[in-house]
A and B are shown apart, each in its own frame.
Chain A
Amino acid sequence: MKDIREDIAWAKINQDVLKSLENPRKLYWVILFIALAMLGVAVGCEVYQYEVGMGVANMDNPHMWGLYIATFIFWIGMSHSGTLLSAILHLMHADWRKPIYRFAEAMTTFSLLTAGLFVAVHLGRVWQIYYALPYPNERGTWPNFQSPLLWDAMAIFTYLSSSIIFLYVGMIPDLAICRDRIHEGWRKKLYTLLSLGWEGTDRQWRNFRVTYLTVACFLIPLAVSVHSIVASDFGMSQQPGWHITSFPPYFVAGALYSGCAAIITLFIILRYVFRFEEYMTLPILKKIVRLTFAIAMVWTYLNAVEFASVWYSHDQASKDVLIQKASGTYAPFWWAMIFCGSIVPLVLAFKRFQTNIPVLFAVSLLLNLGMWLERWMIVAPTFSHGIYPWTWDHDQWPSFVQWGMVFGSFGWFTLLFMVFCKVFPSVSMYEVKEMVYHRSQQSKKQEETGKFAAAGKGAH
């Protein structure tokens, strides 16, 4: 089966994609409403926490960090697969990414925005958050450049602004299409403004190609560095269970893993909601599923490496934390993480499930549940069973405020993402045309050589 029909007329591509800006299925509005309601829960929790203090989140000494930081890592991780699809696969000339990379990139941007919010809600004095920015001021004070948290801030700022730019630059030709096609109204004005007068001239395309390639080259090391830095938040500290050398690659693998799982989920939703069956085809889904399976196995391996290196390290404190994870208060969640992260993806190895939409939908959600649990299992157990025995405390449980915020963040992300998909084309029209064009050229060539071969045979 082919990734995409080669005989789709280019005008039809425009039409189909632009339709997604106009009339999605009813489910779209249902999703939007649910997302808004979920966001409301988080806003309520934040207002309460802001007014009363961090104590209502039920953190204590030693449980200084909780679900906020775990979910922060989760969202940062989610953002990585957008870069994987748009940058790494771009450099590898994997053109099957073309119909799906736009929404993956939007996912990158919005999950970074969500992650940024978690830094804010985590702070005890969120109203002073600007202290962490390196801005010149009359007191001559600067943030502490040694802190991994500051690297985090810097890396996230770089990543967020770069991926917004990348998303936007890659969208300019499509915005020009929207400008030319859409009816009068505020959106026409918006597209006219944003498309910067793009007309597809040779000069524009020439510079566009180089720019896109260059930014893609920058984004790959950037994405790797961002999650390595998040891993440094833990790896650079001295706490048992965190002070592990393999953390950066482990985090990056986990990030790609949860991102790919999220792409499968959103792929299935968008395909149905916006009627993108022609473009988000099952063969493409199959490719992402296989990629996800491969990354799942890498993650499983790195997980095993982490356990092994802790187990043979002769560091009793780290070992105790590991034992606690497997047998203490957090054991059900820890084993659930192993199950969802390493056992469930085995389903993806079977060919008949690789294109089975209901199964994939369920599996992708389970994978992401597993990855969220993984982050929680990195953060929480270390606090409950640290170096200093007097502070061991295995019974602290996050309050509804923390859970509400985590719950609401999914609403916030979905809201942003769904609004984006309705306002901007979530399938890259010009690149699908390129894909269709190149593939039809190729098959034409094949036919010709086939003919030649046949003719040669006859003449012989």
Chain B
Amino acid sequence: MGQRHLLAMYSNFDEAEAVVKELRSTQIKGFDVNRDLIVKSPIEHPEVEEFLGDKPVYVQWFTLGGALMGGLLGFFLISAAQANFFAQFKGGKPIVPLPPNFVLTYEMFILGGVFITVLGFLICAGLPARRSPLYSSTVSEDQIGILVKSDESAANTLKGIFTKHNALEIQEEAGK
């Protein structure tokens, strides 16, 4: 059976929330609310996360890994470089002096943390992304979009729900 994408636009979060709630409570054949539903909003809106249900974020694990890796790499790279360079004294200090290495380790800790966090963000958020099949530039202005993917058969039910909650506009496209 063919697939169909639908995008409905709403003018405020309350309507969008009502739609999502209804979609979650209704059993529709050929439509899985956890997989096929995407909410697009112009601002970061914590309530969206609440009404979509708990979806985990893994970015912080990248942060942890990156920061530790950066710190360890920093310390060992620097100490090993000092030990392998002409092992000559400088200013009577030890060849592997700890206070300066701590400073640099600290910087590398942050550097690793920041870089890998952003890498994690790109991976977790799926960026750079292909543009989704349906998009309305009003999302970047002031409207909230609800994008669903479903079997052909479910399309009309979904459209019914969308219009019931005052959708400003509904776009549809036959998916692959």
Q: Which residues of A contact B (CB under 8 A)?
A: 9-11, 14, 134, 140-142, 144-147, 150-151, 154-155, 157-158, 161-162, 165-166, 169, 172-173, 176-177, 179-181, 196-211, 214-215, 218-219, 221-222, 225, 229, 232, 430-431, 433-434, 437
Contacts and interface: CB of A to CB of B under 8 A. Distances in A.
Nearest to A165: B118
22 contacts: A14-B141, A134-B78, A146-B91, A154-B104, A154-B108, A155-B107, A158-B108, A162-B114, A180-B137, A196-B129, A201-B38, A201-B147, A202-B48, A203-B38, A203-B124, A204-B129, A205-B48, A206-B57, A218-B117, A221-B110, A232-B103, A437-B43
Contacts of A204: 125-127, 129
B60 interface: yes
A218 B108 CA distance: 12
Given A181-B137, A211-B121, A142 B55 contact: no
Interface string B28-45: 000000000011111111
Contacts of B38: 201-203
Contacts of B72: none
A140 B97 CA distance: 19
B111 interface: yes
A219 B71 CA distance: 16
Contacts of B63: 214
B117 A215 contact: yes
Contacts of A142: 81-82, 85
Given A165-B115, A196-B122, 11 more contacts: A158-B111, A158-B114, A200-B40, A202-B48, A203-B125, A206-B125, A210-B59, A210-B121, A211-B59, A222-B110, A437-B45
Interface in B1-55: 38-46, 48-49, 52, 55
Contacts of A225: 103, 106-107, 110
Contact of B40 (A141, A172, A201): A201
Contacts of B101: 145
B160 interface: no
B85 A215 contact: no
A164 to B, nearest CB: 10
B140 A14 contact: yes
Interface in B125-146: 125-132, 135, 137, 139-142, 145
Interface string B134-175: 010101111001010000000000000000000000000000
A161 to B, nearest CB: 7
Given A141-B85, A200-B41, A205-B45, A211 B110 contact: no
Contact of B49 (A11, A145, A202, A211): A202
A192 B7 CA distance: 22
B111 A197 contact: no
- A158, A166, A180, A199 — most chain B CB neighbours (10 Å): A199
Given A162-B110, A199-B129, A10 B42 contact: yes
Given A161-B111, A210-B57, A214-B59, A201 B100 contact: no
Contacts of B121: 169, 207-208, 210-211
Given A177-B140, A229-B103, A205 B44 contact: yes
Contacts of B40: 199-202
A218 B137 contact: no
Nearest to B135: A199
Nearest to B80: A142
Contacts of B59: 207, 210-211, 214
Q: Which of A200, A232, A433 has the largest count of B CB atoms less than 10 A from its CB? A: A200
Nearest to A10: B142
Contacts of B128: 196-197
A285 B100 CA distance: 41
Interface string B80-114: 01101110001101000100110110111011011
Nearest to B120: A211
Contact of A433 (B42, B57, B125, B130): B42
A155 B115 CA distance: 14
Contacts of B147: 201
Nearest to B96: A145
A218 B118 contact: no
Given A11-B142, A215-B118, A158 B107 contact: yes
A155 B129 CA distance: 33
A180 B130 contact: no
B159 to A, nearest CB: 21
A146 B84 CA distance: 15
A154 B110 CA distance: 11
Contact of A146 (B48, B93, B108, B145): B93
Contacts of B86: 141
B118 A208 contact: no
A154 B129 contact: no
What are the nearest 7 A-B pairs in CB distance? A10-B142, A180-B137, A197-B129, A211-B121, A196-B128, A207-B125, A142-B81
